Structure 1
């Protein structure tokens, strides 16, 4: 499942930078860009937004005022050039506070932190349910339809019009595009290369250029290196 997010910023260049950052992160889905608070509020009323990237100095309804109105289920990441609002922003239950200009590594650490907050267990000790996530899926391979458990799927290898599913039981081939497959995967799957998606639960070690899954070596693409590094760093002790 992807996390749905919106950008609220009256500076087009700042909004475009955030949009570019969001498009680089596989588990984020941009649902809207708004240049004033009223328009954002109007469009968010009937939407289940997970994260809002919210500027503070907005025309009309400012960011702090908007933060007081929107659903408490939406995680707020303030984005501003002014550090003096930091204390007040956390009084609005902000998940994070990013100072402009925002470097990508700071953006990435922030959204991984928020992602963990959203996924963490609730007070009853039960995990927050994802209605779209199942323990397994069925896929057609040749003349058969095969059941595959996500926990057994080590990594996916793409090759033009078809993909190879490498599992603990062996390898299956099916005619499906990587993009289509990626959209159906739960959060433990991370794209590390244009042609590879890995299950982080099966990673044994990582170096600067490849991921090791048992005896298999998966290359790390330049585009995905920073994202993978931040995910691993966030899970390190």
Structure 2
């Protein structure tokens, strides 16, 4: 597996220095950029390849929460802050872990391992398919064939271009499995394949099958960021 390309954003120089030192000690991490200015970090992300941001929440020019809202799902994040009350809001985004300052190397290393697992998992999914159990049989489903996934009580309905598969699973579980791929949660009951969108309205997406999928208000911003 290639190294995880890391960015550090923190308005405290000593905090940056500490995290830079930690990153250099871990073989599967590669520091590609660090800055006290979140605006500079935004510009770097727009023009360069990176995977993971070690991100402070409380910064004067731009808070970490607003930083994530701007970048969207393009990055994964490990939040670093002295204020634990921001943890819940942070987890609404693409968060791997939450580190409370002062950060020990042991705690940092555990977070790095979580990130490694997340990126390894996503690379495995780049094989372009997975298996699900439906009607007593294992079925191979190509990601490109999926139109949408709908939650139905304790089951999900995986709708492909050929047929449907009723699977005992949760939408949240499948959302995690499809993380990093061309899929987005758009409603409490729906995940859609972004590549299957034919047209987009204020409150619905129309897929190539002419199926209309509602877009929930709480999912709209993250969905639109993924489309970018």
TM-score (norm 1): 0.56
Indicate whether 1:229 and 2:224 are aligned. yes
Which has a greater percent of helix? 2
Cα separation, partners in 2 of 1:142 and 1:69, compared to 1, 3 Å: closer
- The correspondence for 1:208, drawn from 202, 213, 216, is 202
- Residues 105-147 of structure 1, C-alpha deviation per residue, up to 9 Å, x if partnerless? 65333254557xxxxxxxxxxxx98134322111111122211
**RMSD (Å) for aligned C-alpha atoms:** 3.8
The equivalent of 1:159 in structure 2 is 152
Tell me the distance in 1 between the aligned counterparts of 2:123 and 2:63.
31
Gaps of 5+ in 2: 77-119
Tell me the distance in 2 between the aligned counterparts of 1:220 and 1:189.
14
The equivalent of 2:169 in structure 1 is 176
- Residues 51-108 of structure 1, C-alpha deviation per residue, up to 9 Å, x if partnerless? 55531315xx342564477356356575658x8xx59x97xx9979985343856533
* 4+ residue segments displaced more than 2 Å: 48-54, 64-81, 93-115, 131-134
Tell me the distance in 2 between the aligned counterparts of 1:176 and 1:66.
38
- The correspondence for 2:185, drawn from 175, 182, 191, is 191
- Residues 177-233 of structure 1, C-alpha deviation per residue, up to 9 Å, x if partnerless? 11112221251111111110111111111111111112111111111101112222x
Q: Matches of residues 58-77 of structure 1 in structure 2 within 5 Å? A: 61-63=14-16, 66-67=19-20, 70-71=23-24, 73-74=30-31, 76=33
Tell me the distance in 2 between the aligned counterparts of 1:152 and 1:68.
44
Cα separation, partners in 2 of 1:206 and 1:170, compared to 1, 3 Å: same
Structure 1 residue 49 displacement after superposition: 6.0
Gaps of 5+ in 1: 1-47, 116-127
Indicate whether 1:107 and 2:68 are aligned. yes
TM-score (norm 2): 0.58
